[in-house]
């Protein structure tokens, strides 16, 4: 999804005339991020594991707004709800998760590195989750595919030296999205709620506020960082 803000969301976050591409922008965190950043948007459906569709996504943004994109926010990823052990996982299952989470992110950030506007305001942001650091049972494949994207983001921040394009990796904790509410029992929700010193679940707007800062001029000094956003639950 490409978005071009026509008015800044606040006086401290001026994004006038900047074009942002947000993947998975029709639901969850991506949707709230778009609403936070922009008042004008176009919707482009794309499979991020398909390189040609990623190229078409950038083409559509450039054509619609007559400008290079300034910002890539890659929210799209696939979760592994099977919770399979490594021994019981199939090659086909691993390949499916790998194509979206690792290859898809690679396609997105590679295209961004080549096509985002240089000289100021360029931003690349990708996502994962704090539970990766816990090495939880059943999450081996998902964790492996997402840890690879963390490494890519740290390296791309160095590779883009001199372009004024920054790259950061955001790791939200438990966020109360539509998909979260669909798959979690009341007891599970209580456990996650009590894990945070703030005694609540994260909201998509919590993430959107951070993204709003990172893509602003004020957020330029944050670069090559893995940013945990979980209300203190991982302390």
Residue 165: CB atoms within 10 A of its CB come to 25
Q: What is the bridge-based pairing of β-strands 165-172 and 122-127?
A: parallel
Active site residues: 142
Contacts of 81 (CB under 8 A, 6+ apart): 183
3-class secondary structure, 200:
coil
Q: Which residues pair with 175 in a beta bridge?
A: 202
Residue 161: CB atoms within 10 A of its CB come to 9
- Both tokens of 217, joined, read 């001029």
Query: Using CA atoms, how far apart are residues 145 and 104, in angstroms rounded to an integer?
Result: 10
Query: Using CA atoms, how far apart are residues 162 and 220, in angstroms rounded to an integer?
Result: 13
């Amino acid at each position: 999804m490409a978005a071009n803000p026509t008015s800044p969301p606040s006086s401290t976050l001026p994004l006038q005339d900047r074009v942002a591409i947000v993947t998975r922008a029709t639901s969850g965190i991506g949707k709230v991020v778009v609403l936070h950043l922009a008042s004008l948007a176009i919707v482009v459906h794309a499979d991020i594991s398909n390189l040609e569709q990623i190229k078409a996504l950038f083409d559509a943004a450039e054509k619609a707004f007559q400008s290079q994109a300034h910002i890539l926010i890659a929210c799209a990823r696939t979760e592994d709800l099977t919770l399979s052990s490594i021994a019981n996982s199939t090659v086909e299952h691993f390949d499916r998760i790998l194509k979206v989470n690792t290859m898809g992110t690679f396609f997105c950030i590679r295209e961004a590195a080549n096509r985002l506007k240089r000289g100021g305001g360029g931003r690349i942001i990708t996502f994962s989750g704090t539970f990766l650091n816990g090495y939880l049972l059943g999450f081996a494949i998902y964790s492996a595919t997402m840890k690879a994207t963390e490494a890519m983001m740290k390296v791309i921040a160095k590779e883009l030296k001199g372009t004024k394009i920054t790259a950061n990796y955001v790791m939200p904790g438990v966020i109360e999205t539509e998909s979260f509410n669909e798959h979690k029992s009341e007891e599970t929700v209580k456990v996650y709620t009590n894990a945070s010193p703030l005694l609540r679940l994260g909201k998509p707007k919590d993430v959107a506020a951070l993204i709003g800062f990172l893509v602003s001029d004020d957020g330029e000094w944050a670069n090559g960082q893995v940013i945990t956003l979980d209300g203190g639950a991982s302390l």
